[in-house]
Structure 1
Amino acid sequence: MDLLPLEVAKKVRRDSTLVKYTDGQFIQSRGDSKPGISIVRSGAANAGIIGMDGSVSMTTLLGPGQSFGEFTIFTELPRTHDVTAVGETEIYQMTATRFTRLYDNEPQLSRALLKTALMRSHILLEMLDAIRRLPIRERAARILQSMSHTAGNPNKLECRQSELAYTLGVSRISLNRGLKQLAELKLIELGYGEIRIPRPALLSDWVANHCNPAPLAS
């Protein structure tokens, strides 16, 4: 929403239905085929995939102003993730019909969606690289940095360590060790069901210095 001009953002809110969700309530389920776009107004939305055994592979945490479900309108594909509310959450829900009508009349919507899609693609590639190449400490730092960009509140991520471990493909014990090392470096603070990032810029600098591949020799 921050990428839209004020008047266009007002039209998006006008053409949407505001729906309230309680903590842990499903906002959408993987496989749903009804097209539409969702935008977080307040609270947060946890996007991931829930396995048959109840395990959760968390993809990202979406905060106020972040959207999801756009591809259901443009590609006619079913939804790929389970999305649940984190705390009391409000979501603007817009049907495909209303969105398409607004999209055809407001080119700024196209620009905002394109920039959002490219940013997400960049974050995804960074995460895949981290999973393939980096030690657990650096891997955890990079995914926390990526999540802080989308969570709405860059200083606090509401997520369980078990979900984060499953997403990274490591044991909870190994992840806990890596997170404690980051905490000792004063990059994060560990809490119950949350990870705090007191200085996001410091974490970003650390990731840039420790997680990026070495430059090619000239």
Structure 2
Amino acid sequence: MAGLVFLDAPGLASMLPPGMFERLCASGTRMSYAEGALVQARGDARPGLSIIRDGAVQIGNPGLDGSFVITSILGPGHCFGEMTLFADLPRTHDAVAKGATLIDLVSPAAYERFAEANPALTRAIMTMMARRLYALLEFADDLRRLPLRVQLAKLLLATAGEDGVTATHEELAARFGVSRVAIGTALRGLEKDQLVRRRYGRIELPDRPSLRAWIADRTMLAPV
């Protein structure tokens, strides 16, 4: 499924030597999910590494007030559930299939056998987790410090593909825990500054160097 991957971190597939990713997936159990199916629920204690082979998974949590905040949307080659392997912790978020989705679930025992024979796997997992934590720390600081328009610009720049970003206003609103109206206002402001172009279901970034400079002028932090 083509679309937005709300995660400024590489997928596991891109971090493993050729052939290793396919062998790892083959060590798991193939699971098939229809659009909207619940892949996991917050508090699920089932351990294992979930690897997305096709489709996408929306990670987030519903609030008691009926709101839903998206943490990330993951696509093929990404994985989740690492904390259940290394820290014996329950899953912290709901995961819902976006479109027909295939997932290979690698059990702790299968992971241990594979990692023992392929040390590069655990190094890749640790690097991936560090990159995710790095991105989340930046995002947490942005939430406290930056206006929504700047937060949105950073997300669009970080997650854009060649054709821009494929996302609905609802998805963007849920990512930041705000209303569709607030997202629409932020996008109109960016479009007025000629930094984005809104299309149906898609946001184009016509001048990424200018967008990057615009963000840098407003982050109020030293670059890293």
* Fold match (TM-score > 0.5): yes
Residue number in structure 1 paired with 2:36: 24
Distance 1:44 1:135, change over 3 A: same
**What's the secondary structure of 2:36's corresponding residue?**
coil
CA distance in structure 1 between the aligned counterparts of 2:28 and 2:162, rounded to whole angstroms: 24
CA distance in structure 2 between the aligned counterparts of 1:103 and 1:188, rounded to whole angstroms: 45
| Matched pairs, number | 210
TM-score with structure 1 setting the length = 0.83
Residue number in structure 1 paired with 2:178: 170
Q: Deviation string for 1:143-163 (max 9, x for gaps)?
A: 3344x27xx8884344x4345
1:130 touches 1:142 (CA, 8 Å); kept in 2? Answer: no
Q: 1:183 aligns with which of 186, 191, 199?
A: 191
User: Unpaired runs of 5+ in structure 2?
Assistant: 1-12
Q: 5 Å matches for 1:117-196?
A: 117-146=129-158, 148=159, 155-158=164-167, 160-184=168-192, 185-191=194-200, 194-196=201-203
Q: Deviation string for 1:53-104 (max 9, x for gaps)?
A: 4321100111110110011011111000101111122111111111111112
TM-score with structure 2 setting the length = 0.81
- Aligned sequence identity (%): 32
1:125 is matched by which residue type in structure 2?
Answer: L
CA RMSD of aligned residues (A): 2.6
User: Unpaired runs of 5+ in structure 1?
Assistant: none
Distance 1:68 1:142, change over 3 A: same
Q: Does 1:109 align with 2:121?
A: yes
1:189 Cα shift? 2.7
Distance 1:145 1:91, change over 3 A: farther
Residue number in structure 1 paired with 2:22: 10
Q: Does 1:209 align with 2:216?
A: yes
1:132 Cα shift? 0.7
Distance 1:87 1:3, change over 3 A: same
2:48 touches 2:106 (CA, 8 Å); kept in 1? Answer: yes
1:201 Cα shift? 4.8
2:58 touches 2:95 (CA, 8 Å); kept in 1? Answer: yes
Distance 1:170 1:42, change over 3 A: same
Residue number in structure 2 paired with 1:60: 72
**What's the secondary structure of 2:127's corresponding residue?**
helix
